[in-house]
Amino acid sequence: MSTADNNRVRIFDTTLRDGEQSPGATMTSAEKLEVARGLARMGVDIIEAGFPAASPDDLEAVRKIADEVGNSADGSTPPVICGLARCSKNDIDKAWEAVKSAARPRIHTFLATSDIHMEYKLKMTREQVVEKVRDMVSYAHSLCDDVEFSPEDAGRSDPQFLYKVLGVAIQSGATTLNIPDTVGYTMPAEFGALISGIIQNTPGVEKAVISVHCHNDLGLATANTIAGLQAGARQAEVTINGIGERAGNTALEEVVMVLQTREPIFKLTTGIDTTQIVKMSKLISNYTGITVQPNKAIVGANAFAHEAGIHQDGMLKNQQTYEIMRPESVGASLSKLVLGKHSGKHALKTRLESLGYELGDDELVKMFERFKMLADKKKMITDADLEALVSDELYQP
């Protein structure tokens, strides 16, 4: 791998699989196809299109995505299309059936490795888990060159056992090893150390790409993903708006914008066209019915809105005083200076000028008093409110 490749993080989007597992987030096949087209346009490297063994509908949706989005009409490289499978022949066969028409198909198979999952859920011993991984990864590899393996609940697994299972997965043909923090339990330093440990101790690891897949139960999914990338992982598994099981998955927009905004620190790049981010966020929100909280990083309605007078004054002098990225860079409309009770005279004057009113100093002082009185009664002052205030002010007998 060249140095340039070494700094390139592959973005693996699982909105259509882990994201769709959010309560109530079910999408129709037509919607899934539209999402996959958008992800491809955005430059996502790998699209996990679904879990084909889950239902005939899921299999059909993945197949359609593989047929269309997984092949390019214009000679450009299409994204890898991936289907999830438990470590069972039936699941792997279904995943293969669904993805095989893509130019670059991938089978992603997983088996839990934490003691709690092995004892209570799988009712399997460590030895049985190792043998199952050997058999099923080999089977997946007999069908498809590109195989990803995930030790589910890796964040709570014994690292020594993980090294062994991952070594067997590589020996059996896995080319990507995905490390899930399935229940969002780890802390960033811990997760980073887990990835370093895997890179240092897993036999044959240099043949595989290490991937990270974090859940947000403690609000640490993005921090953990970034810690994993800093430790040497080169694939990040993410969803648009961070949708996913329980508190969700790592948000695509957050990881991509962290890497872009702090590029001098991380020196890592992605192939994402960031100007598509807000559009994709809205598409997912419309299709799933899951609204985005207004203060959500990058894509929330308030991510580029400023109300405090001091902030608005700073923004009017130089946008970099209170913005670390430009709204256009993620496809958002221009920064908003929201007029409310915290706003100052500078912001009021600027908004009035944009509405065509040039007030003299005395008029502005009076106008500002009336504005503050109204702002105490209303959450936000709209342009219509300003028009009404101006006509009262200027045309009062």
Compute the least distance from the CB of residue 329 to ligand KIV, in Å: 30
With CB cut-offs between 5 and 8 Å by kind, which of Zn ion, ligand KIV, none does residue 20 bind?
none
**Closer residue to ligand KIV, CB minimum distance, 236 or 315:** 236
Q: Which residue stretch of 98-106, 159-167, 177-185, 306-314 sits at the interface with ligand KIV (rule: CB under 6 A)?
A: 177-185
Compute the least distance from the CB of residue 302 to ligand KIV, in Å: 30
Distance CA 383, CA 305 (A): 16
Look up residue 10 and give its two tokens: 């592959």
224 is in an annotated binding site: no
18 is in an annotated binding site: yes
**Closer residue to Zn ion, CB minimum distance, 18 or 307:** 18
Look up residue 229 and give its two tokens: 């990338």
Compute the least distance from the CB of residue 364 to ligand KIV, in Å: 57
- Name which position in 11, 12, 17, 18 contacts Zn ion (CB under 5 A): 18
- Name which position in 18, 91, 254, 313 contacts ligand KIV (CB under 6 A): 18
- The verdict on 106 binding ligand KIV (CB under 6 A) reads no
Q: Which residue stretch of 15-23, 49-57, 129-137, 141-149 sits at the interface with Zn ion (rule: CB under 5 A)?
A: 15-23
What residues line the site for Zn ion (CB under 5 A)? 18
- Which residues sit at the interface with ligand KIV, rule CB under 6 A? 18, 110, 150, 152, 178, 180, 182, 213, 215
Q: Which residues are annotated as a binding site for Mn(2+)?
A: 18, 213, 215, 249
